């Protein structure tokens, strides 16, 4: 064995030396196996990657406590007694899966004590409620009991006086919902038509708040508090099932050894049709399983239909029946986290529908729950829309609801957290991992599948790579860690983070704090009022190109610190009536209420100080993994702090309070104005400074100051001084910080600027742009726009070469008009939301024509004058193959001109327009397509290769005027052909490297890959040039 | 040296009006025999072929063949500055032409205006439709043809042309209804505006896009008569002859089935 190994190793080493390239995907796999073989003492055991969980240690409920990290909390109903239960799914530190049932927790809400209420009216009230609920719902014994307690309403200032409230405790959630309904609408008794409190929070969150359970935290079940279920009573595939009555808590910051399954499926579609689950089989499922925190997946396998040649370091599991394969896969799946790319909208629904079609009965019950007990996994369309994240169509929630594991669809994570041009797996990986992958077009998958076991192997490798990439992405971006931190900080279940918006996080925090301070929160009916309050102030920008340092002063965490400084909260809100009642005097008792600290400021203070702590820890920490956790934590804290302000201003929200958000922005406005005044009054020639300082622009929480000095050192010193000076004028903890100097600085408009960013006088940090990227990275802009703008800015700001930037732009425009610009630069992609677009937009029309689902890539081609944009959109591949002329004017006028003028106008003024017209636009090339109505009738007339005049019949290469130059022209053409041939073969080998084999034909047709377009174009160019060259053969 | 003097300046103005809707940039190929232009429209459904014979100019001089790359929109704008009766002279350096000079003289020679148009370098394949014998040719009044197109456009975007031995029927069917115009053979020589001459080898029935035909009829002012040439599965030819000065030909791909 050892001998074999060393030999193998040597050969490997040799091979990698000779090619001297990045190891291909297969080589990476081989390396993996090598490592494993070395590590493992028993190689035979390791060869079969099985994924039994560790055995459950013997547990004695009377002595041992059980500690696990819960990863999902949800509610269910005990089938017999209809008692509501909390289910917590989790993993112990040793990797055992746990399902914990919590019994005895009852939903409840509060109502204010009715006027004239006495202790012995309790039973009467309960009867009235029960009757009403019965009428509505037919539930028996809906109310368990009613308690009288003393609490304070969060809304408004009450001088710290508690009032009596009735806590109505229900036997099931349905009863609560129905009672809330009755109270606010139907119930006629005058006394009870009051506001309910805390009735609009769901059962799970209520439980988590009351038990201080936060998302993805650790739960400790002390000895004697729980019962283990034996196998006959088990309802799930979890190793441990536990019943407990109301558990206590404990908190650690680790992450349990979660098992993460990343998978991808391949379907054999029919030609030209996107696969449909009812018709097209699933042919391969590739899986990798990784334990959180470990580098490489310990299971790699591929379920394939039909035979498949072996793949190094990978289990190939062959099936000859589709149903069997699906069933085997379902039995295989037992992870704690499922990830993949676009799995919720494609892979999961497809598998489910397929299994349904094949009548694989057990299949829909995958996930943790056993089949006979709970509902089937089903895919349903839901729509999710949040102001912060935008609307996306989803099959999300329901899938997630039934699988009962953590689930991260990397596509959704990407769409949520990153603004990218294209969200295909390939381009995302290229962006974050610097790694390209083959893109096998779905139309040839079937051919590969039907050929032989070697081609199926090829497909399996492709599929496996698609399964591994999401895992690598997740590791690299630390999504899991960040999301877990966010769940812990805000206290919501993990899955809420993907499914719900920002509000739920604030609500969770608010309820938690309120619970501690004996406050109750009214359930306001959300009414979407359009009341607008005045937003942040913007100091009118003085547009232009500044070739002197511009210092930037920022308020750090402006809105949270305003809320803390001025104690703005629900609990400190006074209206005029209250002021009279309490006899407060203006300026003495209110605007800042000294008596008690508000709830929101407390939350914010906690968040901010926690963030400060996390940041401090982060500096000290050396272990990269812990560092990542802390960084995730501080980021989560920052986002949460900022969303508090948004929550109070969300008019359709759960608890909007415009008074608070309006005050916050009002303070913000004052502060910006005051800063401007202070700086401009202090830093003047009159006060002994060299120049008068001038604020050229200010927005929300920052001001840009031109101190007038021409070097960075002075500007930075002044900036620092000014920030301290102004900070002194404000209430703590408001702090004005000097952060950076822009030099030079291009101020285009409100919220639109670019500059070279300096934090120390020696070396600039980066090229910073604001608002410009929004215009250019928008996906309905093509890459060309982005590149031109970026390069121009770089030339202007870093090289300080405005003339060079102009030159560059002109050259690019000229190339565009001559069709020399690469097609990948011109592709426009737009995601498609079926229901939103009824108007005919270019890509919608194309999408219908192409009958595809995802984001659509298209280019604009020439068409009849006055044709609408949608008639001009065309599939890039089709355009490339048929040489259809690109509408270069569209790109010039609709894409390039506006962004270009925007950045050049402040610099060049009126002259900027000369960029778009002039001599460089007078050389154009018009392509001749190979298709189109007339093309099959038209005949090409040869033109002179020297001067382009049409040739008579006897001349083949040049006209008689150009005859003398024949030799020269031939040489030129020959050179051109040679160059193109070299270019093409380079691109070809590039693609072969990418697919990891230099001997096979290339299958890839990735629409995101610039190489692909180049390769296609180069291929065509070589052919065309060679045909031209041939014409010389007859010339003499 | 290239120089061409056209006593009927309005001819050039009308020509430009006729093609600028279809083509944006094109090469005027000049040689000893005259000026020619061949260009496809952007969607490659129609082709314009234009010839101005040297005989139409007085004088005409072109030493060697060369191309004038012109943005037709710009040229048309400049030509709008010429009066309808003006004499137009075109001049360019045929060795390295980077601009075309235009000179407009009023008939009584009292007003002379000169313009220069910057030229473009247009790299484009040279395409043409081979001449064929058509199954059916129709010669009819150009205004009548224009009217038929305009009228049927009300009904639909496409028109069927059915040619029989003694009559031609243009018909259209649309959402709101249908319409047709039938013209009978009428070889009256006295009234050319009513003349309809049909020459038929085999009867044909073809469909065309009216939008393009409407564009073609911008050539109406160039000639009293229009010639249509039709064959099964071949492009339609619409030709306006400018006496001996030359012609303008439009080709249009037939509509096939439900495309």
Distances in Å between the Cα of A44 and the Cα atoms of A50, A296, A297, A302, A865 are 12, 19, 18, 19, 71
Give the three-state DSSP class for B109: coil
Residue A272: CB atoms within 10 Å: 9
Mean pLDDT on A367-390: 45
Nearest to B120 among A924, A935, A941 (CB): A924
Distances in Å between the Cα of B244 and the Cα atoms of B56, B225, B248 are 7, 14, 12
Put residue A340 in one of left, alpha, beta given phi > 0 → left and psi -120 to 50 → alpha. left
- Is-contact B164 B202, C-beta < 8 A? no
N-to-C CA span, chain B: 48
Query: With 90 as the cut, is the pLDDT of residue B232 above it?
Result: no
CATH of the domain at A278: 3.30.420.10
Strand segments, DSSP code E, in A922-1005 are: 923-926, 939-941
Residues A232 and A263 in one domain: no
Q: Cα–Cα–Cα angle for A950, A955, A959, nearest 5°? A: 55
The rounded distance, in Å, linking the Cα atoms of A155 and A459 is 62
What is the reported pLDDT for A23? 55
Contacts of B36 in chain A (CB under 8 A): 950
The rounded distance, in Å, linking the Cα atoms of A764 and A1025 is 47
Query: With 90 as the cut, is the pLDDT of residue A819 above it?
Result: no
pLDDT digits (tens, 9 = 90+) for A16-49: 333 334 456 777 777 776 666 555 444 444 444 5
Do residue A928 and residue B124 have CB atoms under 8 angstroms apart?
yes
- Contacts with A494 (C-beta within 8 Å, 6 or more apart), sequence order: A71, A72, A215, A216, A406, A483, A484, A487
Do residue A925 and residue B120 have CB atoms under 8 angstroms apart?
no
Query: With 90 as the cut, is the pLDDT of residue A758 above it?
Result: no
Residues A808 and A889 in one domain: yes
Which of A211-220, A729-738, A951-960, B200-209 is predicted least confidently? A951-960
Tokens at residue A298, please? 């310990």
Instruction: Pick the more confident residue, B35 or A22.
Output: B35
CATH of the domain at A249: 2.40.50.730
Q: What percent of chain A has pLDDT over 90?
A: 1
The rounded distance, in Å, linking the Cα atoms of A755 and A23 is 40
Contacts of A940 in chain B (CB under 8 A): 125-127
Query: With 80 as the cut, is the pLDDT of residue A575 above it?
Result: no
What is the reported pLDDT for A36? 62
Nearest to B21 among A865, A926, A939 (CB): A865
Burial of A310 (0-12, 13-18, 19+ CB in 10 A): exposed
Q: Which domains does chain B have, with CATH numbers?
A: 2-118 (3.70.10.10), 136-252 (3.70.10.10)
Residues A870 and A829 in one domain: yes
The rounded distance, in Å, linking the Cα atoms of A240 and A70 is 13
Q: Is B42 on the interface with A (CB under 8 A)?
A: yes
pLDDT digits (tens, 9 = 90+) for A435-467: 777 777 766 788 888 888 888 888 888 888 888
- Is-contact B65 B31, C-beta < 8 A? yes
Q: Is B126 on the interface with A (CB under 8 A)?
A: yes
The domain containing residue A23 runs over which residues? 2-47
Q: Is residue A8 part of a domain?
A: yes
Q: Is A953 on the interface with B (CB under 8 A)?
A: no
Q: What percent of chain A has pLDDT over 70?
A: 74
Tokens at residue B190, please? 């006295």
Choose from A781-785, A1006-1010, B59-63 the range with maximum mean pLDDT: B59-63
Query: With 60 as the cut, is the pLDDT of residue A594 above it?
Result: no
Torsion of CA A46, A49, A52, A55, to 10 degrees: 10
Tokens at residue A705, please? 């100051």
pLDDT digits (tens, 9 = 90+) for A109-142: 887 777 667 777 777 777 777 777 776 666 667 7
Do residue A937 and residue B65 have CB atoms under 8 angstroms apart?
no
What is the reported pLDDT for A376? 41
Query: Among A257, A274, A290, where does a domain finish?
Result: A257
Residue of B nearest to A959 (CA): B65
Residues A216 and A270 in one domain: no
Provide the mean pLDDT of chain A.
74
Query: With 70 as the cut, is the pLDDT of residue A849 above it?
Result: no
Q: How large is the ipTM?
A: 0.81
CA distance A808 to chain B (A): 20
Query: With 70 as the cut, is the pLDDT of residue A366 above it?
Result: no
pLDDT band at A368 (very low <50, low <70, confident <90, very high): low
Nearest to B66 among A919, A932, A947 (CB): A947
Residues A373 and A280 in one domain: yes
Compute the Cα dihedral for A63, A64, A65, A70 and give only its sign: negative
What is the reported pLDDT for A964? 79
Residue of B nearest to A941 (CA): B126
- Contacts with B70 (C-beta within 8 Å, 6 or more apart), sequence order: B25, B26, B27, B28, B100, B117, B119, B120
Instruction: Pick the more confident residue, A573 or A926.
Output: A926
List A369's β-bridge partners, or say none: A236
Query: With 60 as the cut, is the pLDDT of residue A836 above it?
Result: no
Between A and B, how many CB-CB pairs are < 8 A?
A: 108
Contacts of B211 in chain A (CB under 8 A): 864
What is the reported pLDDT for B227? 94
pLDDT band at A692 (very low <50, low <70, confident <90, very high): confident
Query: With 60 as the cut, is the pLDDT of residue A380 above it?
Result: no
Do residue A940 and residue B127 have CB atoms under 8 angstroms apart?
yes
Query: With 60 as the cut, is the pLDDT of residue A322 above it?
Result: yes
Query: With 70 as the cut, is the pLDDT of residue A586 above it?
Result: no
Do residue B234 and residue A937 have CB atoms under 8 angstroms apart?
yes
CA distance B188 to chain A (A): 35
What is the reported pLDDT for A367? 57
What is the reported pLDDT for A42? 45
CA distance B223 to chain A (A): 25
List B154's β-bridge partners, or say none: none
Give the residue carrying structure tokens 């396998």.
Answer: A301
Mean pLDDT on A782-791: 85
DSSP B146-192: HHHHHHHHTT-SEEEEEE-SSEEEEEEE-SS-EEEEEEE-B--SS-G
pLDDT digits (tens, 9 = 90+) for A876-897: 878 887 888 888 888 888 888 8
Strands B136-141 and B2-6: unpaired
Q: Is A950 on the interface with B (CB under 8 A)?
A: yes
pLDDT band at B146 (very low <50, low <70, confident <90, very high): very high
Domain count, chain A: 7
Give the residue carrying structure tokens 């929550």.
Answer: A647
Do residue A934 and residue B120 have CB atoms under 8 angstroms apart?
no
Contacts of B21 in chain A (CB under 8 A): 865
Query: Among A853, A888, A921, where does a domain finish?
Result: A921
Instruction: Pick the more confident residue, A511 or A442.
Output: A511
Residues A760 and A820 in one domain: no
Residue A488: CB atoms within 10 Å: 20
The rounded distance, in Å, linking the Cα atoms of A306 and A301 is 15
Contacts of A820 in chain B (CB under 8 A): none
Q: Is residue A55 part of a domain?
A: no
Helices (H), A583-711: 599-620, 624-649, 658-682
The rounded distance, in Å, linking the Cα atoms of A85 and A243 is 10
Residues A1003 and A980 in one domain: yes
Residues A218 and A266 in one domain: no
The rounded distance, in Å, linking the Cα atoms of A490 and A487 is 5
Nearest to B124 among A863, A926, A947 (CB): A926
Q: Is residue A513 part of a domain?
A: no
CATH of the domain at A882: 1.10.132.60
Strand segments, DSSP code E, in A774-894 are: 828-830, 856-860, 873-874
pLDDT band at A377 (very low <50, low <70, confident <90, very high): very low
Helices (H), A702-796: 712-727, 772-777, 783-793
Instruction: Pick the more confident residue, A134 or A398.
Output: A134
Q: Is residue A932 part of a domain?
A: no
Give the three-state DSSP class for A793: helix
Q: Is A949 on the interface with B (CB under 8 A)?
A: yes
CATH of the domain at A169: 3.30.70
Mean pLDDT on A692-698: 87
Do residue A947 and residue B235 have CB atoms under 8 angstroms apart?
no
Q: Is residue A265 part of a domain?
A: yes
Residue A905: CB atoms within 10 Å: 18
Residue A880: CB atoms within 10 Å: 17
What is the reported pLDDT for A384? 43
Instruction: Pick the more confident residue, A855 or A540.
Output: A540
What is the reported pLDDT for A675? 86
Residues A594 and A709 in one domain: yes
Q: Is A732 on the interface with B (CB under 8 A)?
A: no
Torsion of CA A501, A507, A513, A515, to 10 degrees: -140
- Residue B223's nearest CA partner among B258, B256, B192, B197 is B192
Strands A282-291 and A259-267: antiparallel
Q: Is B251 on the interface with A (CB under 8 A)?
A: yes
CA atoms within 13 A on the CB side of B77: 9
pLDDT digits (tens, 9 = 90+) for B77-91: 999 999 888 999 999
Q: Is A934 on the interface with B (CB under 8 A)?
A: yes
Which of A259-263, A610-614, B61-65 is predicted least confidently? A610-614
The rounded distance, in Å, linking the Cα atoms of A458 and A346 is 22
Residue of A nearest to B124 (CA): A926
Q: Is residue A517 part of a domain?
A: no
Residues A280 and A386 in one domain: yes
CA distance B66 to chain A (A): 5
Residues A667 and A589 in one domain: yes
Q: Is residue A797 part of a domain?
A: yes
Residues A695 and A763 in one domain: yes
Q: Is B129 on the interface with A (CB under 8 A)?
A: yes
Q: Is residue A518 part of a domain?
A: no
- Is-contact B18 B65, C-beta < 8 A? no
């Amino acid at each position: 064995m050892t001998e074999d190994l060393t030999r193998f190793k040597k050969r490997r080493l040799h091979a990698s030396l000779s090619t001297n390239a990045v190891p291909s995907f297969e080589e990476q796999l081989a390396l993996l196996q090598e490592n494993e073989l070395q590590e493992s003492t028993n190689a035979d055991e390791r060869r079969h990657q099985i994924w039994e969980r560790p055995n459950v240690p013997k547990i004695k409920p009377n002595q041992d406590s059980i500690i696990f990290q819960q990863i999902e909390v949800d509610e269910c109903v005990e089938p017999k007694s209809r008692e509501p239960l909390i289910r917590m799914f989790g993993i112990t530190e040793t990797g055992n899966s746990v399902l914990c049932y919590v019994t005895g927790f009852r939903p409840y809400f509060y109502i204010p004590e009715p006027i004239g209420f006495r202790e012995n009216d309790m039973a009467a009230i309960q009867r009235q409620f029960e009757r009403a609920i019965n009428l509505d719902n037919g539930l028996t014994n809906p109310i368990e009991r009613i308690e009288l307690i003393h609490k304070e309403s969060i809304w408004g200032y009450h001088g710290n006086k508690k009032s009596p409230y009735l806590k109505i405790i229900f036997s099931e959630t349905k009863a609560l919902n129905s009672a809330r309904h009755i109270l606010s609408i139907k119930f006629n008794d005058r006394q009870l038509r009051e506001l309910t409190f805390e009735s609009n929070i769901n059962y799970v969150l209520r439980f988590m708040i009351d038990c201080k359970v936060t998302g993805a935290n650790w739960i400790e079940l002390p000895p004697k508090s729980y019962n283990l279920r034996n196998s006959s009573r088990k309802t799930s595939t979890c190793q441990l099932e536990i019943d407990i009555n109301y558990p206590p808590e404990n908190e650690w910051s680790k992450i349990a050894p979660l098992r993460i399954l990343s998978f991808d499926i391949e379907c054999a579609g029919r030609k030209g049709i996107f696969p449909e689950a009812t018709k097209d089989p699933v042919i391969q499922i590739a899986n990798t399983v990784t334990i959180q925190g470990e580098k490489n997946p310990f299971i790699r396998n591929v379920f394939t239909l039909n035979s498949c040649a072996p793949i190094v370091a990978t289990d190939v599991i062959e099936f000859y029946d589709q149903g069997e394969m699906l069933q085997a896969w379902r039995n295989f799946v037992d992870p704690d986290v499922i990830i993949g790319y676009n799995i919720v909208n494609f892979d999961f629904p497809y598998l489910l529908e397929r299994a349904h079609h094949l009548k694989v009965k057990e299949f829909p019950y995958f996930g943790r729950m056993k089949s006979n007990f709970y509902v089937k996994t089903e895919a349903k369309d839901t729509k999710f829309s949040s102001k912060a994240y935008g609307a996306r169509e989803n099959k999300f929630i329901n899938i997630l609801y039934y699988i009962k594991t953590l689930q991260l669809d990397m596509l959704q994570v990407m769409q949520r957290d990153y603004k990218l041009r294209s969200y295909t797996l390939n381009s995302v990986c290229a962006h974050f991992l610097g790694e390209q992958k083959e893109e096998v077009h779905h139309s040839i998958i079937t051919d590969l599948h039907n050929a032989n076991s070697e081609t199926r192997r090829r497909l399996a490798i492709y599929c496996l790579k698609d399964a591994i990439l999401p895992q690598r992405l997740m590791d690299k971006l630390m999504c899991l860690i960040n999301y877990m931190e966010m769940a812990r900080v805000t206290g919501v279940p993990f899955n809420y983070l993907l499914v719900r918006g920002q509000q739920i996080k604030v609500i969770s925090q608010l309820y938690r704090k309120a619970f501690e301070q004996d406050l109750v929160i009214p359930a306001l009916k959300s009414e979407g009022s359009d009341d607008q309050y005045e937003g942040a102030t913007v100091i009118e920008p003085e547009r232009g190109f500044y070739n002197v340092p511009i210092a930037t002063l920022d308020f750090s965490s402006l809105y949270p610190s305003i809320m803390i400084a001025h104690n703005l909260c629900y609990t400190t809100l006074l209206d005029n009536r209250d002021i009279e009642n309490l006899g407060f005097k203006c300026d003495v008792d209110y605007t800042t209420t000294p008596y008690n600290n508000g709830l929101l400021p407390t939350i914010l203070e906690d968040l901010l100080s926690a963030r400060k702590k996390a940041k401090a820890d982060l500096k000290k920490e050396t272990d990269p993994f812990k560092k990542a956790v802390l960084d995730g934590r501080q980021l989560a804290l920052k986002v949460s702090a900022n969303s508090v302000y948004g929550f109070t201003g969300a008019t359709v929200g759960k608890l909007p309070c415009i008074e608070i958000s309006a005050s916050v922005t009002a303070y913000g406005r004052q502060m910006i104005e005051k800063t401007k005044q202070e700086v401009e009054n202090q830093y003047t020639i009159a006060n002994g400074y060299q120049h008068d300082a001038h604020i050229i622009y200010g927005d929300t929480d920052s001001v840009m100051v031109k101190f007038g000095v021409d070097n960075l050192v002075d500007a930075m010193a002044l900036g620092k001084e000014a920030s301290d000076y102004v900070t002194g004028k404000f209430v703590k903890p408001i702090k004005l910080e000097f952060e950076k100097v822009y030099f030079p600085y291009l101020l285009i408009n409100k919220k639109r600027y670019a500059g070279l960013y300096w934090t120390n006088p020696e070396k600039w940090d980066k090229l910073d742009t604001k608002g410009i990227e929004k215009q250019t990275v928008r996906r309905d802009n093509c890459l060309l726009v982005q590149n031109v703008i970026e390069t121009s800015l770089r030339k202007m700001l870093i090289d300080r070469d405005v003339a060079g930037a102009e030159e560059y732009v002109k050259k690019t425009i000229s190339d565009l008009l001559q069709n020399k610009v690469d097609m990948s630069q011109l592709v426009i992609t737009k995601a498609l939301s079926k229901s939103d677009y009824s108007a005919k937009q270019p890509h919608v029309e194309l999408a219908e024509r192409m009958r595809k689902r995802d984001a659509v890539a298209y280019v604009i081609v020439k068409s009849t004058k006055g044709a609408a944009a949608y008639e001009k959109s065309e599939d890039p591949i089709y355009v490339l193959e048929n040489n259809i002329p690109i509408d270069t004017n569209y790109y010039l006028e609709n894409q390039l001109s506006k962004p270009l003028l925007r950045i050049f106008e402040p610099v060049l003024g009126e002259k900027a327009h000369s960029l778009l017209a002039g001599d460089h636009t007078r050389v154009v090339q018009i392509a001749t397509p190979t298709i189109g109505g007339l093309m099959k009738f038209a005949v090409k007339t040869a033109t002179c290769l020297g001067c382009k005049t049409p040739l008579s019949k006897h001349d083949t290469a040049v006209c008689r005027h150009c005859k003398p130059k024949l030799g020269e022209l031939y040489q030129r053409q020959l050179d051109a052909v040679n160059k193109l041939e070299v270019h093409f073969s380079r691109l070809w080998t590039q693609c072969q490297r990418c697919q990891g084999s230099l001997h096979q034909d290339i299958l890839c047709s990735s629409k995101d890959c610039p190489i692909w377009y180049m390769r296609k174009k180069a291929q065509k160019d070589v052919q065309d040039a060679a045909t031209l060259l041939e014409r010389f053969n007859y010339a003499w | 040296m290239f120089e061409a003097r056209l006593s009927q300046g309005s001819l050039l103005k009308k020509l430009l009006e006729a093609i600028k809707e279809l083509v944006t940039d094109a090469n005027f190929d000049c040689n000893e025999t005259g000026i020619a232009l061949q260009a496809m429209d952007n969607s490659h459904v129609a082709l314009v072929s234009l010839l101005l014979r040297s005989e139409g100019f007085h004088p005409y001089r072109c030493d060697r063949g060369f191309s004038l790359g012109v943005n037709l929109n710009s040229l048309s704008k400049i030509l709008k500055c010429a009066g309808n009766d003006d004499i137009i002279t075109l001049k360019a350096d045929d060795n390295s032409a980077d601009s075309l000079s235009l000179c407009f003289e009023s008939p009584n020679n009292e007003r002379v205006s000169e313009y220069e148009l910057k030229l473009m370098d247009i790299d484009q394949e040279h395409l043409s439709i081979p001449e064929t014998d058509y199954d059916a040719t129709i010669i009819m009044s150009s205004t009548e043809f224009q009217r038929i197109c305009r009228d049927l456009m009300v009904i639909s975007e496409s028109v069927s042309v059915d040619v029989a031995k003694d009559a031609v029927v243009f018909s259209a069917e649309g959402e709101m209804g249908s319409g047709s115009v039938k013209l009978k053979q009428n070889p009256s020589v006295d009234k050319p505006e009513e003349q309809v001459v049909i020459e038929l080898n085999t009867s044909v029935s073809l469909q065309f896009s009216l939008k393009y035909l409407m564009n073609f009829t911008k050539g109406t002012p160039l000639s009293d008569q229009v010639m249509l040439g039709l064959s099964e599965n071949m492009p339609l030819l619409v030709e306006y002859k400018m006496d001996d000065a030359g012609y303008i030909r439009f080709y249009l791909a037939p509509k096939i089935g439900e495309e």
